[in-house]
Amino acid sequence: MTTANKVTKTIVVVGGVAGGASAATRARRCDESAHIVLFEKDEHISFANCGLPYYIGGEIKDRAKLLITTPEQVAQRFGIEVHTQREVMSIDRVRKVVTVLNRETGETSEQAYDKLILAPGASPIVPPGPRAANVFTLRNLHDTDMLKSALDALAAREGDEPRRAVVVGAGFIGLEMVEQLHHKGFEVQLVEKAGQVLPPLDAEMARLVEEELGRRGVRLYLGDGVLGLTMKDGLATEIRLESGLSLAADLFILGMGVRPNTQLAEAAGLTLGPSRGVKVDEHMRTSDPDVYAVGDVVEVLHGVAHTPLRVPLAGIANRAGRLAGGHCVGENPERAPAALGTAIVRVFGVIAACTGLSEAQAARMGKPCATVYVEGGSHASYYPGAQSLLLKVLFHPETGALLGAQAVGGEGVDKRIDVVATALHFGGTVRDLAQIDLAYAPPFGSAKDPLHMAAFAACNQLDGLVRFVPPTTNLDGAQIVDVRDPHELVHAALSGAVNIPLDHLRERLAELDPSRPTVVVCRSGKRGYLGARILSQRGFEDVAVLTGGMVARRLVTAG
């Protein structure tokens, strides 16, 4: 704070990292005269928590690169009073005072505020029972240092005995840790309570990630929860699962999700929402207009579901912090945008990403949902190095409004998901997606991008040119026309199907019954659409296409 300006108000920020640090610095940029105080209960106020797994695995070499800024830098550049190792214990909303514990000395003090911004984050979920020295979570740099030290010690262990690790939780952080542990030579076992990895994705899309994990030798235990740990001499030796299995390992990493740290807000009488996060308005104000909340502790409005949910992602926390910091000094009339849950992860050679709703989420919410699948390349197929990806786009079956998308594959997954997320943000439809002018050159994309192809397919259904049926459809009783070439059927034949290659379909129509309900099948859906158009215009009354073809069919029936 400069001495040239008279203090106009005192802003207290509880917690740093994405939400709190963004709020404090934005408040300063908007109001040079405010007295801004930031309390952080840990040592570091701003670090790249999404980069922690990559430092542990050695892809990021320099630990200092994880420190986005330091208390000294924030104090010098922004004139913010920063106190680390200080935990805010209570809020007196009547007196507008917080009570602060000095975690180094045990002393308490009070700090008055005009505006208060809460960013206490969330805490990892851990199974009941005592904690062991070889059981880790990964939320901050202290966790990182402890885990990296243990991994380095095990790596330096003499002998040929295998080094084993168990990761509990197959979300984004859990999968990143699986990859990094594998790179460091560990035999990895992955446990997930849900019946699939990456629960935000639909099961068939997640299965591509599961197959990649299997190729890398990772053992999967899906649909199995944790009962507890078996201890010996202060160390965990096994983790016990609900199925009755026990998995032995040298170390255990818990990525079972997080719980919002709402204790401070609850004790102060602030309102929680249905998802048990702190309820905030469009300006990030709580039920007390002088108290704001941001980050993992709050619930936000989902942009497609239109319901409040907790979405603990760094990008959302950063943007919310910026909004709250400006609004609390009267300089930011913007409203917080709805969240879409856009996320991405790399798992060895596969990249998986999602935005908006999954089909499973839409079904739980009772939202009408249609889907199309497209298998495409990261760039033009004739240019060397193209990598395949499977794209799933979800839309309203009557209005064409986009509901979400998922993509799994190689390069280019991020590009496609970001485009759909942008379209979702602006309330776009599949017709909008079909007309987006994307950059094209052979090394970067295709003239008809996989996104365009998916949108074209969806528009064709909306316009009545084709009817898609899901890959899970029971085909019993239908006339199944498989338009793939015979050599494609060697390892992927469909029982009961009549095989007529697409290029011979017109000349062999007499082999088919136009009065029967007919489903046309191919590898990924494109030839199926062409076949269906031929049949529909040749007197076949009830024709559908299996969306995603045998690529999607295999995924939904595997396991």
Active site residues: 50
How open is the CA angle 145-175-47, to the nearest 5 degrees? Answer: 40
The C-alpha atoms of residue 375 and residue 323 are separated, in whole angstroms, by: 39
Neighbours of 374 (CB within 10 A): 27
The CA distance from 256 to 137, in Å, is: 9
- Report the phi/psi class of residue 459: left, alpha or beta, with left for phi > 0 and alpha for psi in -120 to 50: alpha
Neighbouring residues of 70: CB distance < 8 A, sequence distance ≥ 6: 44, 45, 46
Pairing assessment for the beta strands 308-309 and 343-347 based on DSSP bridges: unpaired
Alpha-helix runs per DSSP H in 105-169: 141-155
CA dihedral of 122, 124, 125, 130, whole degrees rounded to 10: -130
Question: Tokens in use for 476?
Answer: 């019993």
Mention every residue, 6+ apart, whose C-beta is less than 8 A from residue 370. Answer: 394, 395, 396, 397, 458, 461, 468
Q: Are β-strands 86-92 and 97-102 bridged in parallel, bridged antiparallel, or unpaired?
A: antiparallel
> How, if at all, do strands 402-409 and 97-102 pair?
unpaired
Which of 383, 384, 389, 394 is closest to 344 using CA atoms?
Answer: 389
Conformational region of residue 101, where left means phi above 0, alpha means psi within -120 to 50, and beta covers everything else: beta
CB 141 within 8 A of CB 66: yes
For 84, counting Cβ atoms within 10 Å of its Cβ (0-12 exposed, 13-18 middle, 19+ buried), the class is middle
Strand ranges, E, within 323-438: 343-347, 350-356, 370-377, 388-395, 402-409
User: What b-and-e string marks burial along 396-414, b requiring 16 or more CB atoms within 10 Å of the CB?
Assistant: beeebbbbbbbbbbebbbe
Kind and range of the H or E element at 397? none
